[in-house]
Structure 1
Amino acid sequence: MDSDEDPILPIRSTSSTLYQNLKSFFSLNSSDASLNEIGWKKASTVILAVLFICGILALGLSAIIWVVYDEFDGGSRNHTTTTTTPSPTPSLKRIAGVYTSNESKDSTNVQLEKLTHALFAFIRMDENGTLYFKNEKSKNRFLSLRNKAMNETADVKLMVSIGGPNNAQFFSGVLADESRQRKFISSIIAFLKEYQAHGVDIFWKWPTESEKYVFSTFIKNLRDNLNQYLLSITVPPAGIEHHTFGFDIDDLVQHVDFLNVYSMDYYGPWMNEWGTPTGPIAPLYSGVKERENFNLDYTMQYYSSQTRRLDKFNIIIPSFVRLWKLVKDAVEPGREVYRNVILKDNMTEGDAYMSRRLAEMEGWKLTPSMWDEQSKSSFIYDPDQGTYLTFETERSLKAKMDYLKEKRFGGVWIWAVDMDDENNTVLNFITNQNLFSSHDF
């Protein structure tokens, strides 16, 4: 058929022939007693034409029926599949992992491929605001992490954390002096460029209430100068002394990409009277006596009351093990997780930050563990040895992940990835929850 030939013309031609044959057939004289040979030919032609057209109509009608059926039936099948087996909807944005400068376990590509952000803790600052590495080991660990983060299979943002528990003493003087603050900001930018990092975390532990304005002003100035670089800050747990008084959260949240909530260390074998009683590192709920508010939920309720940008908050997940020795009776009946500790010269015996790898090497067994329902925490107490261990388990991690999803916070930060065991137990459990959206930094 030529391209300009009308496709319905053959149908029109067949209809015209049929009409003429019918007219001739029914115009035959009634006096004819039987059909002659011509009449039989005309009748045959009519019958064949009718059968031909009926076949065409039947074929077309069946095609239409199958198309309609497939449309309805296919739609029904798709709807049923979506309803019965929905894919999980990612609800959290970030999995940030801390790498320390003093652990011996090196970073791996397997770890980095599961993170959205890798924070190296810590880069030090001097009284003039100049940045430097603590020592050669610290620098080499950072460079190893940097090189792996640049691997083409790792879609992770490398950041450096400045300050921390043992190097925050210079923040007050540097930020209060305009010239030193400018030098500090310039030093940060120069460091990020030289070492090809993606951003910086400011960990001032902790500004006082009188320094609140100074800190907010510094964060604004830093944000204005960082351009494409990421900026985060570490903020304290609530309800402990006056740690949160130096943070204008509703103002700060406008200038940072996210905030890391230091929602741990509520209990620990500290070298003072605060080393007793024992308790979970990062309990989700509850507390004991004057520490009733020492928990993650109380802290996050505080930050929820300060700002509506809950998606910018990461809660901390400790990957390490905490050990007390000389542990005795429970503080309250039925609250076995909180126990009295004997102090010697006002100090405890134990290990506040023992990596899982080291715990295994020293023969500490992390299974089976006990469970405290009120705090959603795991622990092990050996009354014969007087030892007490607390750490995260799958059960406690699941409780925290469910909490994050329900409250719609932004993500987690793991302290620290290099303190996990050889199997990356904590990291793997978190990443296997299918709660995190990818590439949302």
Structure 2
Amino acid sequence: MSRKRWGAAIVAGALSIGLSVAVSPAQAHDHGSGGARTVGYYTQWSIYDRNIPLKYLVDNGTAARLTHLNYAFSFLDEQGKCVSSDAWADYQRPFPAEQAVNGKADEAGQALMGNLNQIKQLKQKFPKLRAYISIGGWTGSKYFSNAALTAESRAAHVKSCVDMWLKGNLPGLPAGAAKGVFDGVDLDWEWPSTDGAPGNIVRPEDKRNFTKLLFEYRVQLLKLGFTDRRTYDLTAFLPANRGALDRGYEVKTIFKLLTFATVQGYDYHGTWEQITNQQSAIRTPEGDPTSPPDSSEIVVDAYLERGAPKNKIVFGVPFYGRGWTGVTNQNNGLFQQSTGPAPATFEPGADDYRVLKNLVGKDGYQLHRDDKAGHAWLFNGTTFWTFDDPTEIKRKARFIRDRRLGGAMIWSLDGDTTDGELIKALDSGLRR
């Protein structure tokens, strides 16, 4: 039997036997040596205002501690096919020597530049690191429902994404110029059957179609993997909100299709609410006025109750904080009325840890901590920031370890300091 016919026979057999068999080749290839995954999102736009190239992750010790890097984001066009949301950042920008992972400047005429070439260099430096292309995101999920709608649209979507990001056929570059950069696909559809960003297309059938979309990915990744003699992984970013979870996901089934899932462990509260609160506490703080309450324990238990296996839940931790201003000066600012988002460096109401850490002890800011619930905040009498410092990150890592979850996910890697305070705390809590 020819190699081509043998590959087709394997896929057909996997389809006939069922979902778990179709995904089995991926299960043994995604852990670090310690058994716990450490998955970090690196954002395409980090090279702009933040001026944080991938070399930053080498210099501050992050890259050496990661098992997986998710590159965010690819978008979808109206037909549901994969497109680059910023070709300059992705594969066109020449990096100078001082920003390059390998210390060498990009040269005119080379086949691949931009962040993808830097990921390629990062993987050469850290051979055990696996990199995924993350598709969608808050501003890139508008057309996911179109992509998942029919068997034809699902096949076309997956083919376009595989061709672009895994086979490496990028517009304007030689065929296969980016092949080998990515080891899998991370789907970040926010959210099936639930409103996300304004203008997103949402359908009731998204829930079932998401499962079918994952299955189509598995079929095409299995075929590609057979041709390339390697395994390609499939992951997804899933919500903390239980309403969105129940409306959009067939939990037990999709976890059979996924290598693992990164589960949102933050944004429990934010400036879309007027009352200050924690954004990532492990347990519900005493006196929390919201109903239903949110905490890491509640989110993890919700997934387990719906059939998710512990070892495939990679739980998210934030390397940023959320802030309110015009806050009533009571209870150290916690659970108080505000007038709106706090001023910040890049986006009102949100800022990186490396920025927020410098507020401690300045302009009247005092650090407060709830050791029982597991969260920290800053308050100066009028402005309140909920954030995770090394103490809280290590506490969350221990929570992940003690619950025997599949690891930790970071949003996002550009929020850490030049000496890697948070990644070191996370690594310490996961390993010991």
CA contact (8 A) 1:99 1:120 kept: yes
Aligned to 1:225: 220
Checking the alignment, whether the CA contact within 8 Å between 1:394 and 1:429 is kept in structure 2 is: yes
Aligned partner of 1:223: which letter?
A: R
C-alpha separation in 2, matches of 1:378 and 1:245: 32
Q: 1:353: how far off? A: 3.1
Task: State how far apart, in whole Å, the 1-side matches of 2:187 and 2:120 are.
Answer: 23
Q: Once the 2 structures are TM-superposed, how far is the Cα of residue 381 of structure 1 from its aligned partner? A: 0.6
Distance 2:149 2:126 in 1: 43
Distance 1:148 1:434, change over 3 A: same
After TM superposition, the structure 1 stretch with the greater mean CA deviation from structure 2, 367-376 or 301-310, is 367-376
Change (3 A) 1:102 1:308: closer
CA change 1:233–1:403 in 2 (3 A) is same
Aligned-residue sequence identity (percent) comes to: 19
Residue 129 (structure 1) shift:
2.6
SS at 1:184 equivalent: helix
- For 1:129 and 1:187, locate their aligned partners in 2 and report how far apart those are by CA, in whole Å: 9
2:266 corresponds in structure 1 to 264
> Partners in 1 of 2:276 and 2:408 — Cα distance?
25
Structure 1 window deviating more from structure 2 (287-296 vs 116-125): it is 287-296
Is residue 258–residue 313 contact of structure 1 (8 Å, CA) maintained in 2?
yes
Q: Distance in 1 between matches of 2:191 and 2:255?
A: 17
Q: Cα distance, 1:329 vs. partner?
A: 4.0
Question: Within 2, Cα distance between the matches of 1:357 and 1:400?
Answer: 18
Among 378, 381, 403, the residue aligned to 1:380 = 378
- What is the CA–CA distance in structure 2 between the aligned matches of 1:348 and 1:394, rounded to whole Å? 22
Paired residue type of 2:237:
T
Q: Residues 19-58 of structure 1: matches in 2 within 5 Å? A: none
The answer to whether the 8 Å contact 2:148/2:206 transfers is: no
* In 2: Cα distance, 1:132 partner to 1:201 partner: 15
TM-score (norm 2): 0.71
Distance 1:305 1:234, change over 3 A: same
**Equivalent position amino acid for 2:191 in 1:** W
Is the radius of gyration larger for structure 1 or structure 2? Answer: 1
Equivalent residue number for residue 412 of structure 1: 408
| Number of residue pairs matched by the alignment | 332
Change (3 A) 1:348 1:177: farther
Counterpart pick for 2:393 among 394, 397, 406: 397
Output the aligned Cα RMSD: 2.4
Matching residue of 1:371: 369
| Equivalent residue for 1:166, pick from 131, 139, 151 | 139
Partner of 2:89: 138
TM-score, normalised to structure 1, is: 0.70
Equivalent position of 2:198 in the other structure: none
Pairing 1:206–2:201 present: no
Partner of 2:353: 356
- Counterpart secondary structure, 1:375: coil
Aligned equivalents of 1:359, 1:230: Cα separation in 2: 35
Q: How does 1:239-278 map to 2 (within 5 A)?
A: 239=242, 241-270=243-272, 274=273, 276-278=274-276
Give ranges in structure 1 of 5+ residues lacking alignment.
1-89, 437-441
How far 1:397 moved relative to its partner?
1.8
Q: Structure 1 runs of 4+ off > 6 angstroms?
A: none
- The equivalent residue for 1:289 is 289
CA distance in structure 1 between the partners assigned to 2:252 and 2:118 by the alignment: 33
The structure-2 alpha-carbon separation of the partners of 1:405 and 1:420, relative to structure 1 and needing over 3 Å to count, comes to same
1:153 maps to 126
Q: Which moved more, 1:164-173 or 1:207-216?
A: 207-216
Letter in 2 for 1:95: T
2:431 is paired with a residue of what secondary structure? coil
**Residues 1:106 and 2:53 are matched in the alignment:** yes
